[in-house]
Homo-oligomer: A and B are copies of this chain.
Amino acid sequence: MTVRVSCNDCSLSQICLPLAVEPEQLDELDRMIRRGRPLKRGEHLYRAADSFEAVYAVRSGALKTYSMSEEGDEQVTGFYLPGEIVGMDGIGTAHHVSSAKALETSTVCEIPFTQLEALSTKIPTLQRHFFSLMSREIQEDRMLHMLLSKKSADDRVASLILSIGARHQRRGLSNTQFRLPMSRYDIANYLGLAVETVSRIFTRLQQQELISVDGREIQILDRPGLCGDSRKTCTS
């Protein structure tokens, strides 16, 4: 039982795949997309070693991707918010190398990759857009590389908060006040820190009056301060 929503009606079409497709060709893209039932918090969208069939656009909610090392510890590799594409790391190996799990009730649009590939050869702007998406994912990984390798724990947390804010803004929401969809554990894991450290930093950033924290509810009080802290280009 697939839900009947079309890209035309979707509020995310301006930041999602459709933006690369002319209106007259949108139907073709639209028809290949499968919109399944919502994922409940904790449910998997796919698991490592599943065969790679599709990429997914997040429609609502939030997901995390993670992989497992041989010793069995988890590494959170990314967070995905509405309008973002998840699952591109599987293209090269024909099976997923990471798992994707819902952080809260979420809906996604499934885009079968073989069909997307075929359509891409017909619509150059779509091919280009997809190259761009992957390239930008690489760029972001490089920025994360710098974050992990050069920045202090405070900078890392500040940077994540700013990033979530900026991604909210892309959807027309406040970049100043929002709810973090992930736990302190996930944040710590993603940023290569201990949970205790992350918790202490939230408290500290609040004491410095850079943000106000209430559980997962965040409000940015002093953006320049927070940016300066993380020395990150302060878009938004």
Contact = CB atoms under 8 A, between A and B. Distances in A.
Interface of A: 67, 69-71, 73, 75, 77, 88-93, 97-98, 117-118, 120-122, 124, 127-128, 130-139, 141-142, 144-146, 148-150, 189-192, 231-233
A69 B150 contact: yes
Tell me if A's interface is mostly helix, strand, loop or mixed: helix
A192 B133 CA distance: 27
Given A121-B127, A131-B117, A146 B88 contact: no
A233 B149 CA distance: 23
B117 A127 contact: yes
Given A70-B233, A131-B92, A134-B135, A146 B75 contact: yes
Contacts of A233: 70
A36 to B, nearest CB: 23
B149 A192 contact: yes
Nearest to A148: B148
B139 A142 contact: no
A65 to B, nearest CB: 8
Contact of A231 (B69, B91, B145): B69
A108 B69 CA distance: 35
A142 B88 CA distance: 12
